[in-house]
Amino acid sequence: MHTTLRAYSILVLFAAWLGLSFVFSPQVLPGPVPVFQAIWENMASGEGFYHVYKTIFRVLLGLLIAMVIGGVFGVMMGISLKAEKFLESWVMVGLTIPAVVYAIITLLWFGLNDSAAIIAIGVTAFPAVAINMWQGVKDIDMQVITMAKAFQIPRADLIRKVVLPQTVPYVLAATRYALGISWKIATTVELIGMSSGVGYMLNYWFGLFSMTQVLAWTLTFTLVLLAIEFLLINPFEKRATAWRAVVQV
């Protein structure tokens, strides 16, 4: 039922695209056929894989940094009021500064290389992770922890069986959110200062005014992100939160 609905929604989107492409000239809005043809040619030449790989590599490493720093910040803010008061403004400042500023600063500091991109991604995405984890730790149900203590459950078991499972939905939300941010900042950094990656290719084809290629690269990476969502995150979430799909008996 939901799958068919999803399929229809994508179908409608493509139909609208196709319809509009007849209205506008190919320079303004090329139809799906030439765009997919361009994707196919990019991939067939091997160039597509190279640039997608470069972007994914930067996104994943940056995401890892964001998850680690954001996780540490969030957990500390969740368990200690002092840490909350101390770190809150950092997270808020981090959240407020436009991503492109981080891109410029890291490129100036570290030069036009992968580390600049990775650090820019990590710094940009960490506040979102911190906020989610902060909320997640605050929402931990103390009542079940008291229960576990009353049943003399050892500390390591308590953390593994009672505390961590409660944070799973928040870790998932943080990952999802940070992944979206990471990919956007990655393309920005690549566009400004890299000579590889999807952002670089977007800039290249922007210079040549090729709408077909701009759409082809955008769509390529959108498909990659959708694949990550539906092949990795979504199945894991379904398994981890199966207990929520409930019907009262």
Task: Give the nearer residue to another protein in terms of CB position, either 6 or 160.
Answer: 160
From the CB of 144, what's the least distance to another protein, in Å? 5
164 part of the interface to another protein, by CB under 8 A: no
Task: Give the nearer residue to another protein in terms of CB position, either 80 or 146.
Answer: 146
Which residue in 161, 222, 232, 236 binds another protein (CB under 8 A)? 161
Helix, strand, coil in percent for the chain, rounding step 5? 85, 0, 15
Task: Give the nearer residue to another protein in terms of CB position, either 60 or 168.
Answer: 168
81 part of the interface to another protein, by CB under 8 A: no
Task: Give the nearer residue to another protein in terms of CB position, either 6 or 161.
Answer: 161
Which residue in 165, 195, 222, 232 binds another protein (CB under 8 A)? 165
DSSP state, 242?
A: G
User: What is d(CA 122, CA 51) in angstroms, rounded to the nearest whole number?
Assistant: 20
249 part of the interface to another protein, by CB under 8 A: yes
Q: Which of positions 117-156 make contact with another protein (CB under 8 A)? A: 143-144, 146-154
Task: Give the nearer residue to another protein in terms of CB position, either 29 or 168.
Answer: 168
157 part of the interface to another protein, by CB under 8 A: yes
160 part of the interface to another protein, by CB under 8 A: no
Q: Count the site residues for another protein by CB under 8 A.
A: 24
User: Any residues with CB less than 8 A from the CB of 80 and at least 6 apart, and which?
Assistant: none
211-248: burial string, b at 16+ Cβ within 10 Å, e else: bbbbbbbeebbeebeeebeeeeeeeebeeeeeeeeeee
From the CB of 243, what's the least distance to another protein, in Å? 4
Task: Give the nearer residue to another protein in terms of CB position, either 1 or 246.
Answer: 246
User: What is d(CA 57, CA 35) in angstroms, rounded to the nearest whole number?
Assistant: 25
User: What is d(CA 51, CA 53) in angstroms, rounded to the nearest whole number?
Assistant: 5
Please say whether the beta carbons of 238 and 172 come within 8 A: no
246 part of the interface to another protein, by CB under 8 A: yes
Structure tokens at 87: 């770190």
Closest CA to 187 of 64, 15, 62, 83: 62
Which residue in 29, 104, 162, 224 binds another protein (CB under 8 A)? 162
Structure tokens at 188: 């920005």
In the complex, the residues that contact another protein under the rule CB under 8 A are 143-144, 146-154, 157, 161-162, 165, 240-244, 246-249
